[in-house]
A = this chain, B = another copy of it.
Amino acid sequence: MGSSGSYVPTRPVDWSEIRAQLRASGLRWTPQRRTLIEVLSRTDGHVTGAELIERCRSVDPTTIPSTVYRTLDVLEGLGLVRHSHGANGREEFHVLPSGVHGHLHCTGCGSTWEIPADEAAEVVESLRASRRFAVDVTHLSISGQCAGCSEKTAH
């Protein structure tokens, strides 16, 4: 697994821009943050905190969990990642959200799908109308059964 040395960043991330974003908020560019951002840049979809820590450790074995979680918080403040809680309550991070979206978790097969903002619009509108409640779609996490699983259950 751990072939250290060369890997191909699949996503073009402008390091210096992130660094600039940090500075603009009076925040600092540290080796630990660089490590996490490098890991994130190679990550797609959803990752748990534990996975992120493990990946960081394979880049820098001295990685400390609390630092990762704190950096993740900072990065979330900059909009680089987003987190929500899976069906089991564990944190799930989502990298560089290309669009605002929520998640759907199937309790049957464990799969996860993204719900784009426009599809969630009905939900948002519904609650805004009835409760004047502003739904945070990025944290939206709905559990249930997907088409395949609910068919099996029905029988």
8 Å CB contact of A122 from B85, B87, B91, B122: B122
> Which single member of B119, B127, B144 contacts A130 (CB below 8 Å)?
B119
Contact B150 A144 (CB under 8 A): no
Nearest-neighbour CB distance to chain B for A37, whole angstroms, equals 24
In the assembly, how many copies of this chain are there? 2
Bound CA span A133–B103, Å: 12
A47 within 8 A of B: no
Instruction: Give which listed residue, B89, B91, B126, B135, contacts A144 with CB less than 8 A.
Output: B135
Task: Answer yes or no: A17 CB below 8 A from chain B CBs.
Answer: no
Cβ of A142 under 8 Å from chain B: yes
Are A141 and B144 within 8 A (Cβ)? no
A104 at the interface (CB under 8 A from B): yes
A19 at interface by CB-CB < 8 Å: no
Interface pair B131/A104, CB less than 8 Å apart: yes
Q: Please name 24 pairs of A and B residues whose Cβ atoms are closer than 8 Å in the assembled complex, sorted by A.
A: A85-B85, A85-B88, A87-B139, A104-B127, A104-B131, A104-B133, A106-B133, A107-B136, A107-B139, A122-B122, A122-B126, A123-B123, A123-B126, A127-B144, A131-B146, A131-B147, A133-B145, A134-B144, A134-B145, A134-B146, A134-B150, A135-B142, A135-B143, A140-B143
- Taking A89-B91, A104-B131, A123-B142 as known contacts, 9 extra A-B pairs with beta carbons closer than 8 A to each other, sorted by chain A number, are A85-B87, A85-B88, A87-B139, A89-B90, A113-B131, A119-B126, A122-B122, A135-B142, A141-B141
